Amino acid sequence: MIVTKGLHIGYKSSIAEVQDIKLDAGVYILIGKNGSGKSTLLKTIAGQLDSIQGAIEINGKEIKSIRKSNLPKLISFVGSKFPDVDFLNVVDYIALGRSPHNDFFGRKTARDAEVIDQAIDTLQIQDLKNRFTSQLSDGERQLAAIARALTQETSIIILDEPTAFLDYLNKKIVLENLIKISAKFNKCILLSSHDIDLSIDAQRPFLVVRKDTNTIELLAAETSKNTIISIAF
């Protein structure tokens, strides 16, 4: 679903080079030092930042040729910071994920309601539905954010450190949910993380930013913890 060719990423000049990779359905965990370019890579693949050089194909299409308004139908993105808003209830928040599919006035169809319900069921957050997002715990917020991404019905979901502010149990719940979603809906899920142990337990392929050359490469799920640490840190 995601294919890169000779990709260099960065804001003004290249800060990291991505070895040519091909990501199909599945969960991929991006690991690297702080400031190594993890967020930059995620933003670039999400189409929010132009690459310095090289190409990214999303479902066979060069990303720059995809209209900005169509991008949210192909890729959903869960940022590292949950928006801090009063009086926004969870259902309404999740429903915003449908907006790329809605008409000009943002009217909801029966299908929208169905997709929203399905997302809520998938993440088992029925009891959060009518709460305000400002009253949720960090773990609950993350699940709501994932549900919102799910309603976009994209084949790719990108998450920037979704487990960063969570306790161990919530980290596990989030990761398990992502693995479940990827398998159930055949999605490509790419997330960055600092939780090496948890990531290794998950037994998913890694994208690692090499500390010395700043190249990003794909490593098999079986790679040992020591190897990953020696490459990345």
Partner 1 sequence: MNATKRQNSLLLALLFCLPIVAFVHLYVGQIELTFTDYLDSIFSFDSQNTKHLIVRELRLPRMAMGIMAGAGLSIAGLLMQTLFNNPLAGPYILGINSGSSLFVALTLMTGIPFFTSDFGMIANSLIGAFLFGTIILFFSTVVRMQISLLLIGLMLGSFTAAIVAMIQTASDAQDLKMFTLWALGSLQKVELSQLPLIIAVFAIGLFGALLAVKPLNILVLGETEARLLGVNIRRVRLFIILITALITGLITAFCGPIAFVGLAIPNLVRILFKSQNHRILILSSTIIGAIFILICDISIQFMEPYLIVPINALTSIVGAPFVILLVLKRLR
Query: Given candidates 106, 180, 183, 225, which one binds partner 1 under the rule CB under 8 A?
Result: 106
Q: Is 232 in the site for partner 1 (CB under 8 A)?
A: no
Contact assessment for residue 213 and residue 8, using Cβ atoms and an 8 Å cutoff: no
DSSP state of 86: T
110 binds partner 1 (CB under 8 A): no
Candidate residues 48, 124, 224, 230; the one interacting with partner 1 per rule CB under 8 A? 48
Tokens representing 33 are 């030092």
Strands 26-31 and 188-192: parallel
Structure tokens, 183 = 């398998």
If binding is defined by CB under 8 A, does position 102 make contact with partner 1? yes
Q: What is the DSSP letter of 126?
A: G
Amino acid at the residue 103: D
81: left (phi over 0), alpha (psi -120 to 50) or beta: beta
- Binding mask 59-78 toward partner 1 (x if CB under 8 A, else -) reads ---------xxxxxx--xx-
Q: What is the DSSP letter of 132?
A: B
Q: Is 218 in the site for partner 1 (CB under 8 A)?
A: no
In whole angstroms, how close is the CB of 158 to partner 1 at the nearest point?
10
Cα Rg, the chain, nearest whole Å: 17
Beta strands 26-31 and 22-23, pairing class: unpaired
Selected from 12, 13, 60, 105, the binder of partner 1 by CB under 8 A is: 105
Give the nearest distance from C-beta 17 to partner 1 in angstroms. Answer: 25
Binding partner 1 (rule: CB under 8 A), the pick from 46, 58, 125, 200 is 46
Residues that bind partner 1 (CB under 8 A): 46, 48, 68-73, 76-77, 79, 83, 85-89, 92-93, 96-97, 99-100, 102, 104-106, 130, 132, 152
